Amino acid sequence: MNKREFLKKAGLGLAFAAGAPYIIAAKKPAIKWRLQTYAGSALGEHVIKPAVDAFNKAADGEMFIELYYADQLVPTSELFLACQRGTIDAVQSDDDSMASPADVKIFGGYFPFAARYSLDVPALFYKFGLDKIWKESYDAVGGVTWLSAGAWDPCHFVTKKPINSLADLKGLRVYTFPTAGQFLQQFGVVPVTLPYEDAAPAVTTGQLDGMAWCGITEDYTVGWADVNKYFLTNNISGAWIGHFFANTKSWAKVPDKLKELWKLCMDSSHYYRQHWYWAGEADLRVNGPKLKLTAIPDDEWKSVEEAAVKFWSELGKTSERAGKVVKIFQDYNALMAKAGRPYRY
């Protein structure tokens, strides 16, 4: 070591010892993602943020995911295209809401009565083979990789007017999902499409009569219980089917160990939602102070359930892959019915 090098190293050591104000630059993550969820900020605090925070902490500077809420970067209806183009790196949404061109799109979100309980969704995907069908469908489209599926809450009407019979559905203008709206039209419901953040103001101004978008937990969490008065306990689906997706090129650049870490964090998100929604739905029905519960009689509601079975058959004819999905729904629900309690009542 020459004299110059010695003095340089010695001086640096003395400076640190003396508390000199040296600034060490923070390590920039080697990989940085932008992920946008379908959910607004209040809901996103539960359905996605804990998983992203956990990943960023565990990745320890090797990768960082920036989280954006509904419509912050692109409209929800453009999420697929933005992910495919690489404008964003990842998405949390259902197929239907993000206008996916995949032929399984019609089964995303709330597919009428496909699930009675939230555990039906992971069972359908990881025991009965829907995971393989979704992967095949998105691989065929290209540019977007399907990563994981999980369950959210059941789908109920929350409205300004009470619903006590099927006749009360006629003419109701509701904010809902595309396929759910298509199904509900036969009962006189008028589905309305608008940005997520505009739904509550639309109820206040009279543009909407309510929503068929979620369960009672979300109604309270996002403020919809403040602009509506009634909650219909009959539901058109026991769980929302949602997914995580990634831009295929972005996913390919992620090292295997970080891929496994993100898979674990997605699973933790699915698990959190299982108990958060399950407990929340029961507690707010019993103890929630804002919404009055109503119900359509079971013998009348049975016609809606029967209509759903016909709806399945019609959509199952639209493509070979759709037929496979419907067959799985049919086989699974037949099995659950034969199994009896606690699977089906």
CATH of residue 312: 3.40.190.170
pTM: 0.89
Express each pLDDT in 66-124 by its tens digit.
999 999 999 999 999 999 999 999 999 999 899 999 999 999 899 999 999 999 999 99
Q: Which domain holds residue 331?
A: 155-238+290-339
Q: What is the pLDDT of residue 343?
A: 94
Does 70 share its domain with 161?
A: no
Q: How many domains does the chain have?
A: 2
Calpha distance 300→155 (Å, rounded): 18
The three-point CA angle 95-99-105 to 5° equals: 40
Calpha distance 13→186 (Å, rounded): 78
Report yes or no on 16 lying in a domain: no
Amino acid letter, 69: Y
Q: Would you say 37 and 46 are in contact if contact means Cβ atoms under 8 Å apart?
A: no
β-pair type (90-93, 31-37):
parallel
Final residue of a structural domain among 265, 285, 305: 285
Does 254 share its domain with 229?
A: no
Q: Would you say 121 and 239 are in contact if contact means Cβ atoms under 8 Å apart?
A: yes
Query: Does position 265 have pLDDT exceeding 80, yes or no?
Result: yes
Does 95 share its domain with 182?
A: no
Report yes or no on 2 lying in a domain: no
Report yes or no on 4 lying in a domain: no
Does 131 share its domain with 218?
A: no
Query: Does position 139 have pLDDT exceeding 80, yes or no?
Result: yes
Q: What is the pLDDT of residue 2?
A: 53
Calpha distance 44→29 (Å, rounded): 24
- Cα 71 vs. chain centroid, distance in angstroms? 14
Does 181 share its domain with 206?
A: yes
- Cα 39 vs. chain centroid, distance in angstroms? 8
Does 244 share its domain with 180?
A: no
Express each pLDDT in 332-344 by its tens digit.
999 999 999 999 9
Q: Would you say 48 and 37 are in contact if contact means Cβ atoms under 8 Å apart?
A: yes
pLDDT band at 26 (very low <50, low <70, confident <90, very high): low
Q: Would you say 98 and 80 are in contact if contact means Cβ atoms under 8 Å apart?
A: yes
Calpha distance 95→79 (Å, rounded): 10
Does 229 share its domain with 245?
A: no
> In 3D, which of 62, 66, 56, 139 has the Cα closest to residue 102?
139
Does 70 share its domain with 109?
A: yes
Q: What is the pLDDT of residue 8?
A: 45
User: How many percent of the chain have pLDDT more than 90?
Assistant: 88
Name the token pair of 173: 């203008």
Angle between helix axes 298-316 and 320-339 (nearest 10 degrees) is 150
| Residue 9, helix vs strand vs coil | helix
Does 331 share its domain with 196?
A: yes
pLDDT band at 47 (very low <50, low <70, confident <90, very high): very high
DSSP assignment of 224-261: GGGT--EEEEEEEES--EEEEEEEHHHHHTS-HHHHHH
E strands along 102-179, which residues? Answer: 144-151, 155-159, 173-176
β-pair type (31-37, 63-68):
parallel
> In 3D, which of 241, 239, 209 has the Cα closest to residue 224?
209
> In 3D, which of 50, 43, 46 has the Cα closest to residue 223?
43
Does 137 share its domain with 163?
A: no
Does 52 share its domain with 123?
A: yes
Does 229 share its domain with 296?
A: yes
